Structure 1
């Protein structure tokens, strides 16, 4: 995972998930997805899409984009809906991996300052407080 993140940052000279996704040819859309869905990733006719709930604030939009980018990089060919209906895989595992990837990508190049708490470090990097458990 760390190697993939490092290669993406080197290639695109940024850790901005929107710029990386665009550079990879992934189309980004903002739509009303309802209260329970923050975002999704899918492929259709060889085109890749990240769809982000338009009701989210900027920090959540950025995090969701990084999370969905993780699915593109870490779980190619897998569809959450297919997994839910057609297999016995633990879908939670893939979501946890995507959250960890997102935290690491968004924090890349921003080490903690002496005496800085994890909460402040995450806040400084625009990572939602709820994602603190994926820092480790």
Structure 2
């Protein structure tokens, strides 16, 4: 996972998930996804899409975009909806991996300062509090 993050940042010269998605030809859209869904990644007719809930804060929108990029890079050809409906496999593993990918991407090229806690470091770089545990 670290290698994938490093290559993405090197190729796109940024760790901004929106810029990376655009550079990869992934269309990012914002729509009302209801109260339980923050984002969705899907492929249709060889095109890739990230849909982000439009009522999220900018901090969360950025994290969700990075999370969905994680699905694109780590879980190609795997549909969460298929897993939930047609198998006994737990999709939570993929969600955890995508969260870790997002944290690594958003914190890349930054170092924790002396006397700074992990929570302070993550907050300083816009990682939502609920996602600090994936650092």
State the partner residue of 2:69.
Answer: 69
Counterpart CA distance in 2 for 1:64 and 1:31 is 13
- Once residues 85 and 44 of structure 1 are traced to their aligned partners in structure 2, the CA distance between those partners, rounded to angstroms, is 19
Aligned CA RMSD, in angstroms, stands at 0.5
Moved over 6 A (4+): none
- Tell me what 1:7 maps to: 7
What CA distance in whole angstroms lies between the structure 2 residues aligned with 1:87 and 1:106? 32
Alignment deviations for residues 34-62 of structure 1 (CA, whole Å, 9 cap, x no partner)? 01000000000000000000000000000
- Equivalent-residue separation in structure 2 for 1:125 and 1:110 (angstroms): 9
Aligned-residue offset at 1:113: 0.7
Q: How many angstroms does 1:119 deviate by?
A: 1.1
1:23 correspondence with 2:23:
yes
Counterparts in 2 of 1:113-128, with a 5 A limit?
113-128=113-128
Q: Distance in 2 between matches of 1:25 and 1:88?
A: 33
Q: What is the CA distance between 1:86 and its match in structure 2?
A: 1.0
Please tell me whether residue 46 in structure 1 is matched to residue 49 in structure 2. no
Structure 1, unmatched stretches of 5+, are none
Structure 2 stretches lacking a partner, 5+ long: none
Question: Equivalents in 2 of 1:89, 1:44: separation in Å?
Answer: 23
How far has the Cα of 1:6 moved from its partner?
0.3
